[in-house]
Structure 1
Amino acid sequence: MFNFTPVVRLLLFANVIIFLITSSAGDWVVDRFGLHSVLSNLFNPIQLITHMFMHGSWGHIFSNMIGLIVFGPMLERVWGGPRFFLFYMLTGLGAAALYLGVNYYETASMVDAYHLYAVHPTNSEFVGFISEYASSVYDNIAPFIQKFDADPTNPAYIKQGQAFLEAMVSRQVDTPMVGASGAIFGVIMAFGLLFPNTELILLFPPIPIKAKYLVLFYGAYEVYSGIYQAQSDNVAHFAHIGGMLFAYILVKLWGSQRKTFY
């Protein structure tokens, strides 16, 4: 059914084997090798590479590897194995770079605000922090806010408020990103650029669609989700955007190496 090319086969094997190893090794592996924010004490430059070969679940790795084996072989035949591997790694790194940049932009002000709050942990400062950075949880903690407001000097409430915000900031800064999705979205983008009129059959619904329209749909969806916050879905949308963006740049720099598109 699938005609694997050498590099695609190697990447598939590496991703599956590493997933099997890491999924049974415990959370410490993800903490060490998943990609952390540059604001985190857990950040290590090696994570820029290692996170690309780790996945969070069977569904996660399955969807990524399907993308690799469907779209990757054609690109490898066009470019050859070494260039395809370089493309895969560069788009994965580009995805990580954009993700880290956006994460820093969104998180640095939150970390600074928390440090200011820790100096003056008043109820008004607590409410201001929640309103600015976590408005979605306001209703859930409204009873605590009311009690804190009624007794603002209560040490127990002050301590509870600090602990709540510290945990919130820690989740934002120390939660790692894993997966090959950035590189896979780069592969999909490149396929759409090199073979824009190739017809593909979607799984759901099972209808034909040209590659260029599939890429356009993916790109629009990721931009929308990234801007209008799909944080609750635990998907690194800006990493996907980064992979597609760097793929576009690389394809344009390298040229299509084809005169005929299909």
Structure 2
Amino acid sequence: MARLTDAIKHLLIVNILFFVATELYGDQMYQWFSLWFPKNENFELWQLVSHMFMHGGLMHVGFNMYALWAFGTPLERMWGRNKFFFFYFSAGLGAALIHTGVNYFYFTQGMDALVSSGISETEILKVLANGQYNTDWYSIASKNTIDNFLGSYNTPAVGASGAIYGVLVAFGMSYPNSELFLMFIPVPVKAKYFIPVLIGLDLFSGVTGFSLLGGGIAHFAHVGGALFGFIMMWYWKKNQFNGNRWN
């Protein structure tokens, strides 16, 4: 096994420490460090970064940390530690912004429907702040609209996946012909084929609500991280900036 590069090593350590702390303190960690919707009373600005170190279980953190090591290591060796850190956290912040923006759309859509029926916004927010909802709301708007409305307010985002999707895009653009050996595919697949398909599946699941990758996934955070990763890589390559190392 190759020696861990500096940025990867430190990210692994911090993620594992957060995971252990979450196992010990549970709900308190999720309340403080997950990314909540801005109108939720649990929201704090630091969560835009801290949510990247939170995970929902052993499989979640395990897959993310493996992907970070496997795809991030060659990028850090090419770019240097500081440039990799910049890219990683920029992709993660981009993922958080896209995820929050989509949630804002869902929240506004649901709120507008309820307010137009004569319910005051203050009353609705009071119900939500108490961790409740009114079943009558489902007679005012569609089930999908109300489910998305409640989910945007009540469900926090956790995980490094958004940042890692940015790393995946950078890896695919830097090493497009690298052959990936995947447990669920019996033949090697080139990065330039696998990574766009993976992002496309997330986009499909996010738009349709029909998840092919499992439940409880912040699909638009993945798409956001990939989008910001692509924009950074495109800009760096266009400006001949991609080959510069930041040690």
Pair in the same fold by TM > 0.5: yes
The 1:230/1:38 distance shift into structure 2, 3 A limit, reads: farther
Aligned to 1:28: 28
The 1:193/1:169 distance shift into structure 2, 3 A limit, reads: closer
- Larger fraction in helix: 1
List aligned pairs for 1:14-163, cutoff 5 A: 14-117=14-117, 119=119, 126-131=138-143, 133-134=145-146
Match of 1:192 among 157, 165, 172: 172
Q: Which amino acid aligns with 1:99?
A: H
Aligned to 1:179: 159
Aligned to 2:243: 257
Q: Which amino acid aligns with 2:195?
A: V
Cα distance in 1 between the residues matched to 2:47 and 2:90:
14
Q: Which amino acid aligns with 1:27?
A: D
User: Equivalent residue of 1:16, what SS?
Assistant: helix
Does the 8 A contact of 2:114 with 2:137 survive in 1?
no
Does the 8 A contact of 1:52 with 1:180 survive in 2?
yes
The 1:131/1:69 distance shift into structure 2, 3 A limit, reads: closer
User: Equivalent residue of 1:119, what SS?
Assistant: coil
Match of 2:230 among 229, 237, 248: 248
| CA offset digits 1:62-110 (Å, max 9, x no partner) | 1101110100110001100000011100000000000000110111121
Are 2:192 and 1:212 equivalent residues in the alignment? yes
Match of 1:236 among 218, 221, 225: 218
1:116 Cα offset (Å) = 4.8
Q: Which amino acid aligns with 2:64?
A: N
Cα distance in 1 between the residues matched to 2:137 and 2:81:
56
Q: Which has the larger radius of gyration?
A: 1
Unaligned ranges ≥5, structure 2: 121-133
| CA offset digits 1:201-221 (Å, max 9, x no partner) | 111123111111111111111
The 1:125/1:21 distance shift into structure 2, 3 A limit, reads: closer
The 1:83/1:236 distance shift into structure 2, 3 A limit, reads: same
Aligned to 1:159: none
The 1:246/1:132 distance shift into structure 2, 3 A limit, reads: closer
Cα distance in 2 between the residues matched to 1:228 and 1:171:
15
The 1:124/1:53 distance shift into structure 2, 3 A limit, reads: closer
Does the 8 A contact of 1:39 with 1:108 survive in 2?
no
Task: Return the TM-score normalized by structure 1.
Answer: 0.79
Q: Which amino acid aligns with 2:220?
A: F
Cα distance in 1 between the residues matched to 2:235 and 2:161:
22
Are 2:9 and 1:4 equivalent residues in the alignment? no
The 1:201/1:129 distance shift into structure 2, 3 A limit, reads: same
Q: Which amino acid aligns with 1:133?
A: T
The 1:189/1:127 distance shift into structure 2, 3 A limit, reads: same
1:130 Cα offset (Å) = 4.0
User: Equivalent residue of 1:43, what SS?
Assistant: coil
Question: What is the count of residue pairs matched by the alignment?
Answer: 226
Cα distance in 2 between the residues matched to 1:18 and 1:125:
37
Does the 8 A contact of 1:32 with 1:42 survive in 2?
yes
Cα distance in 1 between the residues matched to 2:146 and 2:182:
37
Are 2:220 and 1:221 equivalent residues in the alignment? no
